[in-house]
Structure 1
Amino acid sequence: MLTLRPAVVAGMFYPEDPERLREEVDRLLDAVRVPLDEPTPKALIVPHAGYAYSGPVAASGYARLLREGPNLTRVVLLGPSHHAAFPGLALPEAEAFETPLGPQSIDAGATARIPWVRHSEAIHRPEHSLEVQVPFLQRVAPQAELVPLAVGQATPFQVAEVLEALWGGTETVIIVSSDLSHYLPYRLGRAVDEETSRMILRLDTTLDSERACGAAPVAGLLEVARRKQLHPALLDLRSSGDTAGGQEEVVGYGAFAFFETGAGHP
């Protein structure tokens, strides 16, 4: 029997019924049009709110993995810890991530010799930032093993060192889970998110948690993107005021792709 990290936000952030969840994810992916000559990105930044709010934005990233999906064998998944403060990064104490679509295997040994990474069930148990990504991955790369890392109080250098160690080749994709601004009026939120988008596109690692709740893993990805000369691209930028919410207080969502030099890029 596999040791599972159980789904905790099914029925809240996404459908609990397997068939409804499968249909919802496929509908979101089918709505995205990816240019035929666009290469598969090495890394993505995608949001992590309920699917009604951020699902269309997240899908604009995941749709880019559909062509290469059968060849992906490892997904390094990083997201912020919303419930626990701790130094470094943490893997769950489990062999698989469970969603209504079933389990997806975890590569628990991938970080065995990497500093700043611990194992903790308590950190992962309530955390949604990684869980909401897994149903998308189960539709685009169901055979891939996950390296799901909750990021606590970690510097861009520390996160970048972990990513460098797990970088791999075309079989590995990096996904960072982060929403953008929180609870600002619609127009102000849009302006803040547009500036944050410009920071991400110029690989500026100084963005903070006021701009993105996943600032630590985002900054780490931007640091390694500078080292490896990745080419960033904005895929989508919206807020809850554009999707399923009111405009008095909105949460911002962005999707970004990072392409390796020589792979061709938008």
Structure 2
Amino acid sequence: MLIRSPAVAGTLYDADSQRLLAQIESWLADAGSQPLPRPAKALIVPHSGYPFSGATAAGAYRLLEPIYDTIKRVVILGTCHRDPTQGLWTPRCAAFRTPLGDVAVDQPACRALLEHPEVNELAVQQDMEHSIEVQLPFLQTVLEDFSLIPLLVGDCSTPVLAEILSSLWGGPETLLVISTGLSRNRPYREVIAQDQHSARRIRAFDSGFVSQEACGFNALNGFLQVAKAQGLASRQVALTTSADLNGQKEQVRGFGAFVFY
């Protein structure tokens, strides 16, 4: 069985399973949350190193606790950071491995996706992207048993991605996770202003984001278009920056967590 080994364990998050689990559980316990009027259907969460964005992501993941045994399939939209690519890519593997164990890939669903002309297969040996991987330890902690549909989103039009997401939408057993950061490498005041504006647009289902506003802008746009068509409601969970932790206000990154239900 071909398994994707973790690429960023020990760098973006702890490679020791006990320390990793304790850290995630601590963030989840500290995350304040109000019950949702309906079960969560999708999350927008950051994908930076856990010391910077882990607590922000935990606020959204905590909202899955009431439905931890209902969700059986998770579609994660990641971002192609290393090389600009055309279309969408799904890794050719049977499972993703993290320090907390293996997450099975929904191989029949991925094979069906490959029939779409915009979806390509990525050899697992070439998959060093972190944006899907860093979401898995959170999901392994809060959910009971689930399979994964991983999609790396490159240069893909919003209507095409919206079409693919609609085909994967499913029912209450399916969760969507959009993995994206917000502003990056800008002065603190600019990041605060831009991310507050972006947060308002996300809550309003504005699917016109560009790369300077979110590294996962293509994934974000496609999801927001479908979420609006599906009549979901939105809630902002957290909006933070790297400066909140390291105090460095020249080259700042912004992180946001949102839930849709």
Q: TM-score range by the shorter chain?
A: over 0.9
Going from structure 1 to structure 2, the CA distance change for 1:234 and 1:124 (only over 3 Å counts) comes to farther
Identity %: 38
Going from structure 1 to structure 2, the CA distance change for 1:146 and 1:245 (only over 3 Å counts) comes to farther
Which residue identity lines up with residue 229 of structure 1 in the other structure? G
Going from structure 1 to structure 2, the CA distance change for 1:134 and 1:244 (only over 3 Å counts) comes to farther
The corresponding residue for 1:203 is 205
Going from structure 1 to structure 2, the CA distance change for 1:244 and 1:40 (only over 3 Å counts) comes to farther
Query: For the Cα contact (< 8 Å) 2:4–2:124, is it kept in 1?
Result: no
1:164-183 aligned within 5 A? 164-183=166-185
SS at the partner of 2:106?
A: coil
Query: For the Cα contact (< 8 Å) 2:13–2:20, is it kept in 1?
Result: yes
Gaps of 5+ in 2: none
User: Which shows bigger deviation, 49-58 or 114-123?
Assistant: 114-123
The corresponding residue for 2:238 is 236
The corresponding residue for 1:29 is 28
Taking structure 1 as the reference length, the TM-score comes to 0.93
Measure the CA separation in 1 of the matches of 2:36 and 2:167: 30
User: Which shows bigger deviation, 75-84 or 27-36?
Assistant: 27-36
Going from structure 1 to structure 2, the CA distance change for 1:86 and 1:257 (only over 3 Å counts) comes to same
The corresponding residue for 1:263 is none
Deviation at 1:146, TM superposition (A): 0.6
1:140 to 142, 145, 162: 142
Measure the CA separation in 2 of the matches of 1:62 and 1:24: 14
Deviation at 1:209, TM superposition (A): 0.8
Which residue identity lines up with residue 174 of structure 1 in the other structure? L
The corresponding residue for 1:4 is 3
SS at the partner of 1:204?
A: coil
Is 1:54 matched up with 2:53?
A: yes
Query: For the Cα contact (< 8 Å) 1:78–1:150, is it kept in 2?
Result: yes
Deviation at 1:66, TM superposition (A): 1.3
Query: For the Cα contact (< 8 Å) 1:111–1:117, is it kept in 2?
Result: no
Measure the CA separation in 2 of the matches of 1:242 and 1:127: 26
SS at the partner of 2:66?
A: coil
SS at the partner of 1:149?
A: strand
Is 1:192 matched up with 2:191?
A: no
Taking structure 2 as the reference length, the TM-score comes to 0.95
Query: For the Cα contact (< 8 Å) 2:93–2:124, is it kept in 1?
Result: no
Deviation at 1:27, TM superposition (A): 0.8
SS at the partner of 1:217?
A: helix
Measure the CA separation in 2 of the matches of 1:192 and 1:33: 25
The corresponding residue for 1:93 is 92
Going from structure 1 to structure 2, the CA distance change for 1:37 and 1:84 (only over 3 Å counts) comes to closer
Cα deviation per residue 1:106-147 (whole Å; 9 max; x = unaligned)?
102214334122211268621011110010011012411010
Gaps of 5+ in 1: 260-266
Going from structure 1 to structure 2, the CA distance change for 1:124 and 1:169 (only over 3 Å counts) comes to farther
Query: For the Cα contact (< 8 Å) 2:35–2:63, is it kept in 1?
Result: no
Query: For the Cα contact (< 8 Å) 1:238–1:252, is it kept in 2?
Result: yes
Cα deviation per residue 1:161-184 (whole Å; 9 max; x = unaligned)?
111111110000000000000111
